[in-house]
């Protein structure tokens, strides 16, 4: 309990990728695509991170990211999906990679 409180005070949310058996702590406000690239999470970004494809799509299991950008909407099939190139870490998060074709 105390460790969770300390992480929140320090702005260090925990990201969990259960299908990859990976968990990491990151600073608040980081772009999810950058976090994944920095920590070796296998995420593609065919458009270079400009919200022009859906190869960096993720599925949120629990938690939330920054508010949905209008530019993401054409690339999402469900409300629990986001584009990692447009989403920023705002708290603890559990997610799976869910790339489109």
Distance between CA atoms of residues 51 and 69, nearest Å: 9
pLDDT at 9: 53
Measuring CA to CA, which residue among 94, 101, 98, 99 is closest to residue 21?
A: 94
pLDDT in tens, 27-38: 999 999 999 999
Q: What's the CA gap between 92 and 14, in Å, rounded?
A: 5
Q: What's the token pair of residue 37?
A: 């690239």
- Domain locations in the chain as residue ranges: 2-97
Mean pLDDT of 53-74: 95
CATH 3.10.20.30 fits domain 2-97: yes
Q: What is the pTM of this model?
A: 0.87
For residues 27-53, average pLDDT: 94
Average pLDDT, the chain: 90
Whether the predicted pLDDT of 3 surpasses 90: no
């Amino acid at each position: 309990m105390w460790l969770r409180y300390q992480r929140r005070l320090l702005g260090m949310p925990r990201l969990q990728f259960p299908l990859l058996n990976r968990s990491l702590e990151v600073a608040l406000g980081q772009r999810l695509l950058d976090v994944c690239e920095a920590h070796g999470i296998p995420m593609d970004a065919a458009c270079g991170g400009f919200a022009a494809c859906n190869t960096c799509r993720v599925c949120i299991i629990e938690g939330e990211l920054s508010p949905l950008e209008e530019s993401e909407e054409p690339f999402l099939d469900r409300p629990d999906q986001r584009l990692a190139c447009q989403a920023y870490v705002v708290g603890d998060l559990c997610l799976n990679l869910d790339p489109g074709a």
